[in-house]
Structure 1
Amino acid sequence: MPDGGYYAKVPRSESIEAVRRALYRHSAVSDYKEITPQLYEISRIGRSAVKLYVTNVYTVGMADVQEILEENPSVTCILTVSAWNSYTGRAKEYAKSINVGLFRFYEWLGALNYDGDKLLDYIAPSERDD
């Protein structure tokens, strides 16, 4: 791997820029503060604030969720940003059980419109069983 594994967890600059653009354009977002390129405080219109952690882990597992939250205990949402990234079902359920949302990029965009269980349980329209 030419980058020495650096991007295994830290998103590429173009992915971070995509997150910034999405936050700037999202109709539910009133403002956001970039604490680091991986950590954001997001104020939302008529909804609770979100503290977002952005990662580039290819498949986020339980250990990844635990590591992220150990280093950033106030995080309420975790986003694995690249389009081909995902997470395990066990990691998703674990995060939900401790009131943390775990999302792929397109899921996160929809989830930002909700609070509470609706945020945690958000399923993108393309993934829903009709």
Structure 2
Amino acid sequence: MPEGGYYAKTPRPESIEAVRKALHRHSAVHEYREVTPQVYEISRTGKSTVTLHVTNVYTVGLADVQEIADENPSITCILTVSSWNSYTKQAKEYAKSVGIGLFRFHEWMGALNYDGDEFLDYIAPSDREK
């Protein structure tokens, strides 16, 4: 790896830019504030505020969710940003049990339209048939 593994957890600059562009154009997003390049506070119109952590972990597991939540207890959402990334079922279930949404990019875009359990349980239309 030319970058020495730096992007194993930290999203690439182009991925961070994609998140910013998505937040800027999403109809449910009123405004957002970048806390760090990986953490965003997202105010949504008529919905609760989401505190997002962006990661580039290839397959987010239980330990990853626990580590992210321990580092920033205000996190309410984790996005594994690259298109080929995913998460384990155990990680998804644990995240939900502690009130954190765990999503891939296309899931996150839809989940932003919802609150509460609808947010945490969101399944993208393309994944509903699987």
Compute the TM-score of the two structures, normalised by the length of structure 2: 0.99
Query: Matched residues in 1 for 2:69 and 2:2: separation?
Result: 29
Aligned length: 130
1:59 and 2:59 are equivalent in the alignment: yes
Identical-pair percentage: 75
1:89 and 2:94 are equivalent in the alignment: no
Structure 2 partner of 1:71? 71
1:43 and 2:21 are equivalent in the alignment: no
The one-letter amino acid paired with 1:125 is P
The one-letter amino acid paired with 1:46 is G
Q: Secondary structure at the match of 2:42?
A: strand
Structure 1 partner of 2:2? 2
Query: Matched residues in 2 for 1:39 and 1:28: separation?
Result: 18
Query: Matched residues in 2 for 1:58 and 1:80: separation?
Result: 8
Structure 2 unpaired stretches of 5+? none
Structure 1 partner of 2:106? 106
Q: Secondary structure at the match of 1:21?
A: helix
Query: 1:129, CA displacement in angstroms?
Result: 2.4
Structure 1 unpaired stretches of 5+? none
Query: Matched residues in 1 for 2:3 and 2:87: separation?
Result: 23
Query: Matched residues in 1 for 2:22 and 2:72: separation?
Result: 22
Structure 1 partner of 2:125? 125
* Cα-Cα RMSD: 0.8
